[in-house]
Chains A and B, each alone.
Chain A
Amino acid sequence: MSDIEKHPKQILAGRHLLAIEDISPLEITALLDLADNYVELNRQTEKKQSILRGRTHINLFFEASTRTQSSFELAGKRLSADVMNMSVKGSSVSKGETLLDTAMTLNAMHPDILVVRHHASGAAELLAQKVSGAVINAGDGQHQHPTQALLDALTLRRNFKRLEGLKIAICGDIKHSRVARSNLLLLHKMGATVHLVAPLSLLPADIDRLGVKVFTSMYDGLKDVDAVMMLRLQLERMDGACIPSAREFYRFYGLDQNKLERASPNAIVMHPGPMNRGVEIDSTIADGPRSVIQKQVEMGVAVRMAVLDALARNLPSLTNNDGGNS
């Protein structure tokens, strides 16, 4: 019996999942345990659970997303929630309605769970203050993307059977990456050693105070690491150029066979997607035997089911709901 079954209400008791700072190592472990169960479930023919029956789950994506949105949608549907995808294009949001007005409108429809992606840091936090249901941050600006960090942790833990003591390199566009922030905080929290590798113009100020080691060379940063997490070069977030060209970036920071040889022989290669092949990662690596990129997508659905499950346990019960039966 996992921890969450013993103490179901203690996981994500904060009601929302907004940032890694809000969850404890114990909660993370319990969520990963729960997600492990869902990985097994998702590999069966019958994938449906009734835990979220009667619950309304709204995906509110202000930024385009394929994998995260469909992953949340599948997760909700497999747990029997009524899932609605708010398409932002062509809606009142593109007519100038503010984030809070949109949120209040949706809130009036009594959603139980609101999954939000927005281009502004802190957007999920702002919504959480104003709506009555649970809010899951599916990426806010350059701040965080906690379910990505959880799914990466699940991928790592299933591969290495532990997180503590692992040495992980996160490489590339750290400055604009919410994935990097969530991952480094979670991994540091779980006792892993985190190396950040990037040119100085792609590192935010004082990042070394977050418990990581900073390298500017892939050859130094990748030495003996157990996993290499590549990040997408976010050219659309760059306010002016932080690097001279994609070609130059690939030469010094793109992951190729040469650089990967510095890592431990069993090292795995990760990428949150979508990839810029030939910019931050060589296609032979992305599709090669060490790549777990497809596995990350699989873990994504399981982790999001675990998060939805845990949050639903803390939601007020509906009178006509006969409860979960995980």
Chain B
Amino acid sequence: MRWSNDRNGRRAFVNACLVDPASGLDAKGGVLVDSGRIVAVGADINKQSMHGSAEVSDCYGKTLFPGLIDMRVFTGEPGMEYRETLASASEAASAGGVTTMIVMPNTDPVIDDAAIVDFILRRARDTALVRIAPMAAITKGARGKIMTETGMLREAGAVALTDGRVGVANPQILRRAMSYASTFDMLIVQHVEDASLATGVMNEGEIATRLGLPGIPRQAETIMLERDIRLVELTGARYHASQISCADSLQVIKRAKQAGLPVSCGVSVNHLVLNELDVGAYRTFFKLSPPLRSEDDRLALIEGLNDGIIDIIVSGHDPQSADTKRLPFAEAEFGAIGLETMFSAALSLYHQDQIKLSRLIEAMSCAPARLLGLETGKLAPGSPADFVIADLETSWQVEDTTLRSSSKNSPFEYRSLEGRVEKTIVAGQVVYSYDKP
């Protein structure tokens, strides 16, 4: 990585509002960093106490919280570097306060082999601004047929298994993969969408009917989710539904959790702040998989996040270029970028009093860290010094010209968002500073 772990020198970030969901901390204070790790956190880290013993940075009362961990990021490296490289994605991540990107295996070639995991980790070390860890495919080529070498992938550094943008359709293959993965305590992450039911291009219902577009029923999601949870009962595997999109899925997850099954789920920030009406006049940047659902579903998802039925928030960052997006809606690719806007977009829920700040941050930091067994995601002595300083009130305009991602397919294009990341710190070093326009 472009930062290194071994830089000496103590640095203190003082006069901040500290929010650390892992410890429940929500107070004024500072963070002391040395050699890429956090040494101390709290009110006694201040300008006076640190004077002379550390390089002091004043946060001017801004909010300081653990670096975000985004559990669903697609890049184009290797194979489609013109859409996004690990380096360009990491630039976008740093500007969005994301200090760890979990990259999906749907590259060319697919990350289904220890050598490719190793390639990703080396490219990340050499070119990226933030930490990167890959998920490896459940099946070879993410084609849903032959199991990958779970143990070797884990040793190489894969943090979980997923076929990324496709779900494993065959129950027999998923059952075996789940059983085998639990041997190595690997998390199985599933894209819950039954491909044979999800032949449409947007949420099924009145809006799709008016636009003359084929719909994707909610059942494409719930049927696969219910089936998978039966397989969790059978195999005991740790299972994570990558993104859920509707109220019905919440009920399914809730029942599984009440039954004590090792089940968790995520939601993309898009599904928390947008709905099917945003598709408007065939705007393909809002063509997502799973599709944006109704306003009722959106409100239910926010409630599910508050109740803890939903564990984490992801950006679902999926760079697509003009040649795959500037097409008639049905022919355009699914997906939207989001690394740079995830935090600000999610913050709108806090500004609307729909969710507490600490819960939002938890869902983007210590919750994914816990699922993946990462040591980041918290402000604790001994932890890696990954954190973010943000101004919750600054409003800024999302412009395709200033977004750092190589692809510009942002659903928030031309929108004003309130609150933004001012500094991103990875391993104690500032990798991003906001320049006010």
Interface residues of A (CB under 8 A from B): 98-100, 118, 120-123, 125-126, 140-144, 178, 181, 204-207, 209-210, 239
Provide the B191-219 mask, 1 if CB < 8 A to any CB of A, else 0: 00000000100001110111111110100
* Interface residue from B204, B206, B217, B330 paired with A121 (Cβ < 8 Å): B330
Task: Kindly state the separation between the CA atoms of A230 and B213 in the bound complex, as whole angstroms.
Answer: 22
Task: Kindly state the separation between the CA atoms of A144 and B214 in the bound complex, as whole angstroms.
Answer: 14
Name the segment of B320-328, B347-355, B393-401 touching the other chain: B320-328
B326 and A120 form a contact (CB under 8 A): no
10 additional A-B pairs beyond A99-B327, A121-B213, A122-B211, beta carbons within 8 Å, are A122-B328, A141-B212, A143-B213, A144-B212, A204-B208, A204-B209, A205-B205, A205-B206, A206-B205, A210-B210
B206 and A120 form a contact (CB under 8 A): no
A contact residues around B326 at 8 Å (CB):
98, 100
* Interface residue from A98, A121, A181, A204 paired with B282 (Cβ < 8 Å): A121
Q: Which of B278-306 contact A (CB under 8 A)?
A: 281-282
* Interface residue from B204, B206, B213 paired with A142 (Cβ < 8 Å): B213
What are 18 pairs between A and B in contact, CB < 8 Å?
A98-B326, A99-B328, A121-B212, A121-B328, A121-B329, A122-B213, A122-B281, A126-B327, A126-B328, A140-B212, A141-B213, A143-B212, A144-B212, A181-B209, A181-B212, A204-B208, A205-B208, A205-B209
A178 and B212 form a contact (CB under 8 A): yes
Give the shortest distance, in Å, between A206 (CB) and chain B (any CB): 4
A120 and B329 form a contact (CB under 8 A): yes
Task: Kindly state the separation between the CA atoms of A141 and B205 in the bound complex, as whole angstroms.
Answer: 17
Q: Does B155 contact A (CB under 8 A)?
A: no
Give the shortest distance, in Å, between A211 (CB) and chain B (any CB): 11
Interface residues of B (CB under 8 A from A): 199, 204-206, 208-215, 217, 281-282, 323, 326-331
Give the shortest distance, in Å, between A146 (CB) and chain B (any CB): 12
Task: Kindly state the separation between the CA atoms of A140 and B281 in the bound complex, as whole angstroms.
Answer: 13
Task: Kindly state the separation between the CA atoms of A144 and B213 in the bound complex, as whole angstroms.
Answer: 11
Give the shortest distance, in Å, between A111 (CB) and chain B (any CB): 20
Q: How many A-B residue pairs have CB under 8 A?
A: 70
B328 and A118 form a contact (CB under 8 A): yes
A210 and B282 form a contact (CB under 8 A): no
* Interface residue from B205, B217, B282 paired with A122 (Cβ < 8 Å): B282
Those 7 A-B pairs whose CB atoms lie nearest each other, nearest first: A143-B212, A120-B328, A122-B282, A142-B212, A206-B206, A121-B212, A204-B209
* Interface residue from A98, A126, A178, A204 paired with B215 (Cβ < 8 Å): A204
Give the shortest distance, in Å, between B248 (CB) and chain A (any CB): 15
A120 and B211 form a contact (CB under 8 A): no
A205 and B329 form a contact (CB under 8 A): no
A143 and B211 form a contact (CB under 8 A): yes
B contact residues around A207 at 8 Å (CB):
209
* Interface residue from A141, A144, A204, A205 paired with B330 (Cβ < 8 Å): A141
Interface residues of B, dominant DSSP: loop
B331 and A121 form a contact (CB under 8 A): no
A contact residues around B217 at 8 Å (CB):
205
A contact residues around B213 at 8 Å (CB):
121-122, 141-143
CB-nearest residue of chain A to B206 = A206
Task: Kindly state the separation between the CA atoms of A118 and B209 in the bound complex, as whole angstroms.
Answer: 18
Give the shortest distance, in Å, between B197 (CB) and chain A (any CB): 12
Task: Kindly state the separation between the CA atoms of A142 and B282 in the bound complex, as whole angstroms.
Answer: 13
Task: Kindly state the separation between the CA atoms of A123 and B330 in the bound complex, as whole angstroms.
Answer: 10
CB-nearest residue of chain A to B326 = A100
A contact residues around B282 at 8 Å (CB):
121-122, 125-126
B contact residues around A118 at 8 Å (CB):
328
B contact residues around A205 at 8 Å (CB):
204-206, 208-209, 215, 217
B209 and A120 form a contact (CB under 8 A): no
Task: Kindly state the separation between the CA atoms of A239 and B215 in the bound complex, as whole angstroms.
Answer: 12
* Interface residue from B199, B209, B214 paired with A206 (Cβ < 8 Å): B209
CB-nearest residue of chain B to A142 = B212
Give the shortest distance, in Å, between B195 (CB) and chain A (any CB): 13
Give the shortest distance, in Å, between B171 (CB) and chain A (any CB): 22
B208 and A122 form a contact (CB under 8 A): no
Give the shortest distance, in Å, between B291 (CB) and chain A (any CB): 13
Known interface pairs A120-B329, A122-B328; A239-B199 also in contact (CB < 8 Å): yes
CB-nearest residue of chain B to A122 = B282
Known interface pairs A98-B323, A100-B326, A205-B204; A121-B209 also in contact (CB < 8 Å): no
Task: Kindly state the separation between the CA atoms of A123 and B328 in the bound complex, as whole angstroms.
Answer: 5
Task: Kindly state the separation between the CA atoms of A204 and B323 in the bound complex, as whole angstroms.
Answer: 30
B contact residues around A239 at 8 Å (CB):
199, 214
Give the shortest distance, in Å, between A218 (CB) and chain B (any CB): 22
Task: Kindly state the separation between the CA atoms of A141 and B213 in the bound complex, as whole angstroms.
Answer: 8
B contact residues around A122 at 8 Å (CB):
211-213, 281-282, 328-330
Task: Kindly state the separation between the CA atoms of A122 and B284 in the bound complex, as whole angstroms.
Answer: 10
B contact residues around A140 at 8 Å (CB):
212
Task: Kindly state the separation between the CA atoms of A178 and B210 in the bound complex, as whole angstroms.
Answer: 10
Task: Kindly state the separation between the CA atoms of A204 and B207 in the bound complex, as whole angstroms.
Answer: 11
* Interface residue from A120, A204, A209 paired with B331 (Cβ < 8 Å): A120
Task: Kindly state the separation between the CA atoms of A126 and B282 in the bound complex, as whole angstroms.
Answer: 8
Task: Kindly state the separation between the CA atoms of A204 and B216 in the bound complex, as whole angstroms.
Answer: 12
Give the shortest distance, in Å, between A97 (CB) and chain B (any CB): 11
Task: Kindly state the separation between the CA atoms of A187 and B19 in the bound complex, as whole angstroms.
Answer: 58
Give the shortest distance, in Å, between B145 (CB) and chain A (any CB): 23
B contact residues around A209 at 8 Å (CB):
206
B contact residues around A126 at 8 Å (CB):
282, 327-328
Task: Kindly state the separation between the CA atoms of A141 and B329 in the bound complex, as whole angstroms.
Answer: 11
Task: Kindly state the separation between the CA atoms of A63 and B281 in the bound complex, as whole angstroms.
Answer: 22
Task: Kindly state the separation between the CA atoms of A15 and B209 in the bound complex, as whole angstroms.
Answer: 25
A98 and B206 form a contact (CB under 8 A): no
| Candidate in A122, A140, A144, A204 with the most chain B CB atoms within 10 angstroms | A122
A contact residues around B212 at 8 Å (CB):
121-122, 140-144, 178, 181
Task: Kindly state the separation between the CA atoms of A204 and B205 in the bound complex, as whole angstroms.
Answer: 8
